[in-house]
Amino acid sequence: MRFVGFLGLSVLVLSFSAACGGGSSSAPATTADNPPPLDDDDSGGGPAPAPAPASSGKVKDGMDAIQAGDFAKAKTVLEEAAKENPKDPQAAYYLGVAVEGLGDGKAAAGHYKNALELDPKLTEASINMFGVLLDANDVEGALAATNAGLKTAPKNPSLLRNKAVALDATGSKDAVGAFKAAVAAAPNDKEIHYLYAEALARSGDRAGAIAELKPLVSSDDVAVLASVGRLFGKLKAFDECVSALDNAISKKDAAELRVDRGLCKHGKKDDKGARADFEAAVAADAKFAPAHFYLAQNKRDAGDKKGAKAEFEKAATLDPGGKLGAAAKKELSELK
């Protein structure tokens, strides 16, 4: 008997995007608490050019305040700088960074737009504007900001990635090609390889998706390996899935990873190995409902109805209002 939906009920705690430095895979390359120099680099690799000097003393003070995490001070100083010189794109850009740091994405987008009107080559403003608009679910606006940036920096890896992400979010058939271009611009970027693999998988290109994922199996990052393993699993590339999760577990033995690897082993028809992983997951975290649920399915398929019932009951108790808990209750009602 097959298990209920591969990974469909698993609680995925580790996230690939967290490993790559942002709250979402489309996070801007720059962040409010770590503003970059305005260097207009669209080289996609190699040494960066020398940082552009601050346009004024007040802009420098604002940049320093941002670096120190004092966004309120930065906002005040940069508002003064922008008032003194309304045509200074640096003042407008860093004011956007400051207000974004204060949580006002709408105002930040306005300042980034102003900065771009003053200097269309200010790539960082396009990148950050994409981030705040995407966070506001304005995908079309985020795509427009990215396309505007690409007019002056057509090889910029972050802009190419953001375009692909935005096209993917709209369901555009052009997303796969955009991801391919982004990978070519940043061949060492693990995140973009993963996102490209996801896009290929959604388009039905299983072989292409697997090929994009394979180089990531040697990653040293547990969260990357976890996400790669799960996508391999969804693609039914179970050998590769086990290999990625072997690497992850060798670095951090966690209940979530054990459950995921157990499901991969089940996909390979190695139910003895799967049982060992599910039992290890329960031992590592007795309150992790998916471990009990999948161990229950394993025991049920092995003919251990009593053991299966006990594990389904634990899963239902641990997730009383969730989908997994409901699935466990359904299994219990059908277990005879």
- The residues spanned by each domain of the chain are 31-155
Task: Specify the pLDDT at position 336.
Answer: 72
Task: Specify the pLDDT at position 10.
Answer: 31
Task: Specify the pLDDT at position 6.
Answer: 33
pTM of the model: 0.76
SS3 of the chain: the string is: CCCCCCCCCCCCCCCHHHHCCCCCCCCCCCECCECCCCCCCCCCCCCCCCCCCCCCHHHHHHHHHHHCCCHHHHHHHHHHHHHHCCCCHHHHHHHHHHHHHCCCHHHHHHHHHHHHHHCCCCHHHHHHHHHHHHHCCCHHHHHHHHHHHHHHCCCCHHHHHHHHHHHHHHCCCCHHHHHHHHHHHCCCCHHHHHHHHHHHHHHCCHHHHHHHHHHHHHCCCHHHHHHHHHHHHHCCCHHHHHHHHHHHHHHCCCHHHHHHHHHHHHHCCCHHHHHHHHHHHHHHCCCCHHHHHHHHHHHHHCCCHHHHHHHHHHHHHHCCCCHHHHHHHHHHHHCC
Run means of pLDDT, 10 residues per run, the chain, 336 residues: 34 30 34 43 43 85 94 96 96 95 95 95 93 94 94 94 94 95 94 94 96 94 95 96 97 96 96 97 97 96 96 96 94 89
Task: Specify the pLDDT at position 54.
Answer: 87
Task: Specify the pLDDT at position 51.
Answer: 56
The yes or no reply on domain 31-155 and CATH 1.25.40.10 is: yes
